[in-house]
Structure 1
């Protein structure tokens, strides 16, 4: 399962053996030159993940930042992440 927009590229793999969702982050120096900016983006993604964790199921998710994510404020990024978490969690909802 993949989901992407102008700020993030997200991929969800199969079910993990643990039973709860895990998050992997890739924010390269191409995306944000300074460590402060990279860490800011990572904090925003982690916080969004925490809010949506109960609905994500036992999958592993990898979030990769894209060029241009640094210029956006946190509200725009939270909205983009929320849209992607819903898109990725939808097909995997327990029946």
Structure 2
């Protein structure tokens, strides 16, 4: 359940609902059909220099997404990290992502 092609990413980046906090920026867009939720990751080296930090963030984002996937159906998401995200503990990052996924859906429904 991932965004894989450049076309998928481009579609989400064109007119997203954007929500952010200190750790992440989440872009969301309703998918073209009532498909399961899909996730794309944009983890820049500028934000997390070491590969171990980038991989930790990716694992955590995917795990959090999997646990909420049923509630997120019908949307495509792209998650981008911020510099402050790599130093935070896992529980804070999970809570942040859960909150941002729900806020992104609400923002998308509003308009």
Normalised by the length of structure 1, the TM-score is 0.88
Secondary structure in structure 2 of the residue aligned to 1:70 = helix
| Per-residue Cα deviation, 1:21-62 (whole angstroms, up to 9, x for no partner) | 110001111111111110000000000000110011211100
**How well do the aligned residues superpose, as a CA RMSD in angstroms?**
1.7
Query: Is 1:53 aligned to residue 75 of structure 2?
Result: no
Which has a greater percent of helix? Answer: 2
The number of residues matched between the two structures is: 93
Gaps of 5+ in 2: 1-16
**Contact 2:19/2:26, CA 8 A, preserved across alignment:** yes
2:38 matched residue in structure 1: 22
Instruction: Give the whole-Å Cα distance in 2 for the aligned partners of 1:90 and 1:82.
Output: 13
Instruction: Give the whole-Å Cα distance in 1 for the aligned partners of 2:42 and 2:28.
Output: 14
Secondary structure in structure 1 of the residue aligned to 2:36 = coil
Instruction: Give the whole-Å Cα distance in 2 for the aligned partners of 1:41 and 1:91.
Output: 24
Segments of 4+ moved more than 6 angstroms: none
Secondary structure in structure 1 of the residue aligned to 2:88 = coil
1:86 matched residue in structure 2: 102
Gaps of 5+ in 1: none
Instruction: Give the whole-Å Cα distance in 2 for the aligned partners of 1:63 and 1:89.
Output: 14
**Contact 2:42/2:79, CA 8 A, preserved across alignment:** yes
1:42 matched residue in structure 2: 58
